[in-house]
């Protein structure tokens, strides 16, 4: 008889100690069935334990503490009085306090089958992978747990988007949005994680670039009780997270910096046009328009691209940025005349070349001096 892949996977037993890490936010109605599921799954594994990282206000933590003693498995609760980073922040806090060589991250609402926790670790041991992802998109399962076609569609679109953004890193991960995965200690300790909301697996995969990843298929179950906490705000957070991850390398930052700089053309031309129409001399208009473009660039660069490296007062950052943006003019003019007279470039090509060179120089100064990374 051919057994389905899920059943096969669930039968595997690991030998390494492991922690099942469960982030909880108001899951009082789910923790009892979850704990019973985990009791069955982990029973007989002497070095398996459960760690809840709880941000609830409904007494979920107290309930877990009440239920835990009768179960015969070790259960800890880390309750965060001042939660930060949402679901991802909770997972990172749990990883930091876990003591075992493996952690399995799993939702509390029984959308992830508890019996898969040991199976994921067993698969990691068998394959040598540092990261084992529970995948809803592999053959041998149904992803029936989405509440309605809209959520299912959104999830699929996000998966597409994410895979397009990181084609190489995510080549071996069919479900990069999964909330169910096992991770080996050397991997999670190798990166400084900056979680932001739900997509902690994505954060982990992109920041650590694991050399090998395994997958275990499973069927996504309907939520046992209560509602998903993901909504519009979480969606926006996801887009911000994705942008930030994409820009985390120097090359990505430089491309974004150049694009932002180029987008400054728009306010520049609008202001020039308006001023000239109002009768201002075109040279004065050009200088003023340059300041408008500079402000536009500053807002985008300061609030998006280098948001995480900001220090000191906003006014001071703006002043330094303005000096750099205008110094640019001073530096470009001699370079321009050199290119036209010595290299015999046409003035338009020469201007284009000086703009690119100035943008690269501004990027290096901005990246290394104005928004210096923390040591
Ligand atoms: N500690 C903590 N803090 N836990 C949280 C927080 C938080 O701010 N927000 C959510 N959780 C917990 C929930 O209590 C639950 O155990 C788990 O994280 C997942 O939350 P849900 O609200 O049920 O998420 P979902 O079902 O919409 O999304 C899940 O599936 C997605 C795939 O479709 C998550 O696993 C996502 O990471 C995953 O991408
Ligand atoms: Mn859920």
Judge if the beta carbon of residue 24 lies within 6 A of ligand 1: yes
Q: Which residues contact 26 (CB under 8 A, 6 or more apart)?
A: 56, 57, 58, 60, 226, 229
Q: Give the tens place of pLDDT for each residue, 22-79.
A: 999 999 999 999 999 999 999 888 899 999 999 999 999 999 999 999 888 999 999 9
Q: State the ligand closest to the CA atom of 111.
A: 2
What was the pLDDT predicted at 143? 54
Domain 5-246 has CATH 3.90.550.10: yes
**Close Cβ partners of 188 (under 8 Å, ≥ 6 residues apart):** 95, 103, 204, 208
In this structure, are residues 120 and 182 in contact, taking their beta carbons and an 8 Å threshold?
yes
Question: Which of residues 148 and 305 earns the better pLDDT score?
Answer: 305
Residue with tokens 């430089």: 254
Residue 77 pairs in a beta bridge with 52
pLDDT tens across 206-249, in order?
Answer: 999 898 999 999 888 888 888 787 778 888 888 888 888 888 77
Over range 125-141, report the average pLDDT: 84
**Does 158 contact ligand 1 (Cβ within 6 A)?**
no
Domains of the chain, by residue range, sit at 5-246, 250-370
> Which pLDDT score is estimated for 97?
95
Distance, CA of 193 to CA of 33 (rounded, Å):
31
Predicted local confidence at residue 328, as pLDDT: 80
Ligand 1, atom 8, residue with closest C-alpha: 86
Instruction: Name the residue at shortest CA distance from atom 34 of ligand 1.
Output: 179
Pick from 143-152, 193-202, 230-239, 270-279 the range whose average pLDDT is largest: 270-279
How many whole angstroms from 147 Cα to the centroid of ligand 2? 10
Q: How far is CA 243 from CA 23, 239, 247, 346, in A?
A: 24, 6, 6, 38
- Strand (E) or helix (H) holding 104: strand 102-105
Q: Is the CB of 107 under 6 A from ligand 1?
A: yes
For residue 111 and ligand 1, the question of a CB distance below 6 A is answered with: yes
| For the CA of 22, the nearest atom of ligand 1 | 16
Question: Are the CB atoms for 166 and 248 separated by under 8 Å?
Answer: no
Check pocket membership of 14 for ligand 1, CB cut-off 6 A.
no
Compute CA distances 370 → 131, 157, 251, 304, whole Å.
37, 37, 18, 15
Q: Please tell me the distance between residue 233's alpha carbon and the centre of ligand 2 in angstroms.
A: 16
Q: Which atom of ligand 1 is nearest to the CA of 27?
A: 14
In percent, how much of the chain has pLDDT > 70? Answer: 94
pLDDT for residue 1 is more than 80 = no
> Could you read off the pLDDT of 276-329 as tens digits, one per residue?
999 998 888 888 998 999 999 999 999 888 887 888 899 999 999 999 988 887
pLDDT of residue 36: 95
Measured between alpha carbons, how far is 97 from 223 in angstroms, rounded to an integer?
Answer: 28
Give yes or no for residue 175 CB within 6 A of ligand 1. no
- Quote the mean pLDDT of the chain: 88
What residue owns the CA closest to ligand 1's atom 21?
228
Residue nearest to atom 17 of ligand 1 (CA): 107
Higher pLDDT, 231 or 126: 126
């Amino acid at each position: 008889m051919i057994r389905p892949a899920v059943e096969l996977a669930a039968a595997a037993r690991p030998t390494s100690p492991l922690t099942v890490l469960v982030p909880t936010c108001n899951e009082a109605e789910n923790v009892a069935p979850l704990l019973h599921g985990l009791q069955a799954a982990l029973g007989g594994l002497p070095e398996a334990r459960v760690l809840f990282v709880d941000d609830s206000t409904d007494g979920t933590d107290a309930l877990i503490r009440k239920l835990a003693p009768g179960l015969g498995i070790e259960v800890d609760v880390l309750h965060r009085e001042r939660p930060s980073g949402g679901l991802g922040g909770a997972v990172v806090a749990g990883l930091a306090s876990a003591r075992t060589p493996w952690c399995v991250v799993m939702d509390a609402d029984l959308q992830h089958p508890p019996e898969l926790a040991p199976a994921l670790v067993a698969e990691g041991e068998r394959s040598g992978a540092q990261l084992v992802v529970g995948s809803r998109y592999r053959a041998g399962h149904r992803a029936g747990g989405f509440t309605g076609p809209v959520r299912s569609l959104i999830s699929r679109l996000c998966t597409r988007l994410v895979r397009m953004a990181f084609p190489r890193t995510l080549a071996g991960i069919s479900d990069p949005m999964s909330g169910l995965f096992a991770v080996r200690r050397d991997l999670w300790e190798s990166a400084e994680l900056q979680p932001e909301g739900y997509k902690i697996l994505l954060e982990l995969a992109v920041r650590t670039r694991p050399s090998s990843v395994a997958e275990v298929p499973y069927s996504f179950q309907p939520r046992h009780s209560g509602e998903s906490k993901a909504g519009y705000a979480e969606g926006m957070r996801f887009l911000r997270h994705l942008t930030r991850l994409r820009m985390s390398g120097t090359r990505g930052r430089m491309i974004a910096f150049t694009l932002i700089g180029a987008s400054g053309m728009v306010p520049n031309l609008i202001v020039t046009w308006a001023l000239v129409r109002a009768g201002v001399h075109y040279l004065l208009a050009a200088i003023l328009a340059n300041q408008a473009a500079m402000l536009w660039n500053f807002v985008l660069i300061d609030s998006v691209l280098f948001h995480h490296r900001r220090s000191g007062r906003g006014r001071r950052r703006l002043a330094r940025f303005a000096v750099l943006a205008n110094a640019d003019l001073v530096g470009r003019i001699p370079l321009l005349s050199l290119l036209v007279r010595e290299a015999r470039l046409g003035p338009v090509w020469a201007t284009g070349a000086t703009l690119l060179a100035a943008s690269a120089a501004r990027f290096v100064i901005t990246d290394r001096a104005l928004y210096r990374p923390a040591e």
